[in-house]
């Protein structure tokens, strides 16, 4: 497939340049270097690279289920007793490089796949989706970058195409052809391109290529802080995630890709100190037990949103909890500083890639609720 891509404004650059994008099947696929190891061997190899791992459900891409106790209640994964007891609960929060835990997990479930927690491993993985699909809006192909009508997009159908288009636009090499870093072919024909994030002070969030808010390119997903990636050598019911070529070490994230990720909002801003919210109080005795009975279920609804990255009504649930807390604080039933310390961690665990937005929702809800004191007579 070829595109004619305008190169600039001066006379020389106005000449169009032909960009040829290789189809997924055209990318060389050398034979696997040796026999694939057992899942436990894969997990131990990943841990030796400094990548924390956790089990995946056998034959699937999804994590192993939590134990019944963890499924039935909300709690901080950091304080959960399951990890010391040898249970890999809480998805990538349980990921570890500890050989003792790894051996226990894969001895218990030898066919479990291997997931790698991207954030603690300082990894950023670009997932090229190979499923052909018609694009509906060229404005969403490269978020924030207008694509002139002069660019002929005939044949564009997958993530391989859109990221090649972005690379051509920036006059950079196509990441799908970056043989200097670890590249993993997925069973569906897609490609995972692994990079190391060399900056420990710069956290980058996950995204999906279909997102209307934060995305690198259409049909291109990003796995980074707050997410996990399937380790090479893992087998699912669809096939094996097969490392390509001979490179097994992720290269440093190219600066131009880092800039392209930061531009549409992948950078996770560190929490900023916020001034205390002035909530007027009526002269009432504080009744935390009654207030907790009202606020507790709302906090649980927010926490439950951690089960899925979207489609859970997170914003509405967080706003409802903050609004109720603001009203309870204004009526003197709870302390606004203490309740904010409950709201923020709960929201951040459910949506760790949008901490600044979480705090804005909480602040707006608390302020709005403070204008409507919420009394709990008859409820305590």
Alpha helices, DSSP H, located in 213-287: 255-262
Question: Helix, strand or coil for residue 271?
Answer: coil
* Domain limits, the chain: 2-30+122-262, 39-120, 288-370
Alpha helices, DSSP H, located in the chain: 39-48, 68-71, 99-108, 118-121, 159-170, 255-262, 288-304, 314-330, 336-350, 355-370
What is residue 364's predicted lDDT score, i.e. its pLDDT?
Answer: 85
- Contacts of 133 by beta carbon, 8 Å cutoff, 6+ apart: 157, 158, 219
CB 117 within 8 A of CB 212: no
Helix, strand, coil share (%) of the chain residues, nearest 5: 35, 15, 50
What is residue 82's predicted lDDT score, i.e. its pLDDT?
Answer: 87
Q: Backbone phi, then psi, for 355, in 5-degree steps?
A: -60, -40
CB 43 within 8 A of CB 231: yes
What is residue 329's predicted lDDT score, i.e. its pLDDT?
Answer: 83
- Contacts of 75 by beta carbon, 8 Å cutoff, 6+ apart: none
Q: What is the residue-level pLDDT of the chain in tens, covering all 380 positions?
A: 444 444 443 333 433 344 444 444 443 333 332 345 899 999 999 999 999 999 999 999 999 888 888 876 677 787 888 888 878 888 888 999 999 999 999 999 999 999 999 999 999 999 999 988 888 788 889 999 999 888 889 889 999 999 999 999 999 999 999 999 999 999 999 999 999 999 988 999 999 998 878 999 999 999 999 899 999 999 999 999 999 999 999 999 999 999 999 998 999 887 655 555 444 444 343 456 677 788 888 988 999 998 887 788 899 899 999 998 888 888 888 877 778 888 988 888 888 878 878 888 988 888 888 887 877 654 43
What is residue 125's predicted lDDT score, i.e. its pLDDT?
Answer: 98
What is residue 167's predicted lDDT score, i.e. its pLDDT?
Answer: 96
DSSP string, 3-53: EEE---SSTTTTS-EEEE---GGGS--PPPSSPPPPHHHHHHHHHHTT--E
Q: Which two tokens stand for residue 13?
A: 């650059």
CATH topology of domain 2-30+122-262: Prim-pol fold (3.30.2250)
Q: What is d(CA 81, CA 96) in angstroms, rounded to the nearest whole number?
A: 15
How do beta strands 183-185 and 2-5 pair?
unpaired
What is residue 69's predicted lDDT score, i.e. its pLDDT?
Answer: 83
Q: Largest alpha-carbon pair distance within the chain?
A: 79
Task: Supply the pTM of this predicted model.
Answer: 0.67
Q: Which two tokens stand for residue 285?
A: 């005795």
């Amino acid at each position: 497939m070829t595109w004619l891509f305008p190169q600039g404004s001066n006379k020389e650059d106005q000449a169009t340049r032909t960009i040829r994008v290789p189809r997924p099947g055209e990318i060389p696929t050398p034979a696997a270097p040796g026999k694939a190891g057992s899942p436990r061997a894969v997990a131990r190899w990943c841990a030796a690279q400094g990548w924390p791992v956790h089990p995946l459900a056998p034959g699937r891409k999804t994590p192993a289920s939590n134990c019944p106790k963890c499924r039935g209640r909300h709690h901080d994964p950091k304080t959960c007793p399951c990890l010391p007891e040898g249970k890999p609960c809480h998805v990538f929060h349980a990921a570890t490089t500890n050989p003792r835990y790894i051996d226990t997990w894969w001895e218990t479930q030898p066919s479990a796949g291997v997931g790698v927690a991207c954030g603690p491993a300082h990894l950023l993985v670009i997932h090229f989706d190979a499923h052909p699909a018609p694009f509906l809006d060229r404005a969403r192909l490269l978020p924030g970058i207008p694509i002139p009508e002069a660019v002929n997009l005939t044949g564009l159908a997958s993530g391989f195409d859109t990221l090649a288009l972005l690379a051509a636009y920036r006059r950079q090499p196509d990441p799908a052809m970056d043989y200097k870093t670890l590249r993993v072919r997925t069973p569906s024909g897609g490609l995972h391109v692994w990079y190391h994030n060399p900056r420990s002070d710069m956290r980058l969030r996950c995204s999906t290529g279909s997102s209307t808010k934060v995305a690198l390119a259409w049909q291109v997903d990003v796995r980074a802080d707050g997410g996990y990636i399937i380790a090479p050598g893992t087998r699912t019911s669809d096939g094996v995630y097969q490392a390509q070529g001979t490179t097994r070490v992720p290269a440093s994230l190219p600066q131009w890709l880092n800039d392209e990720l930061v531009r549409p909002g992948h950078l996770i801003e560190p929490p900023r100190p916020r001034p205390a919210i002035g909530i007027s109080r009526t002269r009432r005795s504080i009744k935390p037990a009654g207030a907790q009975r009202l606020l507790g279920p709302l906090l649980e609804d927010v926490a439950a949103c951690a089960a899925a990255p979207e489609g859970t009504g997170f914003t509405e649930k967080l706003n409802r909890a903050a609004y109720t807390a603001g009203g309870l604080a204004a009526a003197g039933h709870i302390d606004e500083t203490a309740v904010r310390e409950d709201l923020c961690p709960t929201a951040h665990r459910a949506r760790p890639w949008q901490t600044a937005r979480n705090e804005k929702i909480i602040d707006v809800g608390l302020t709005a609720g403070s204008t409507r004191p919420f009394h709990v007579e008859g409820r305590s």
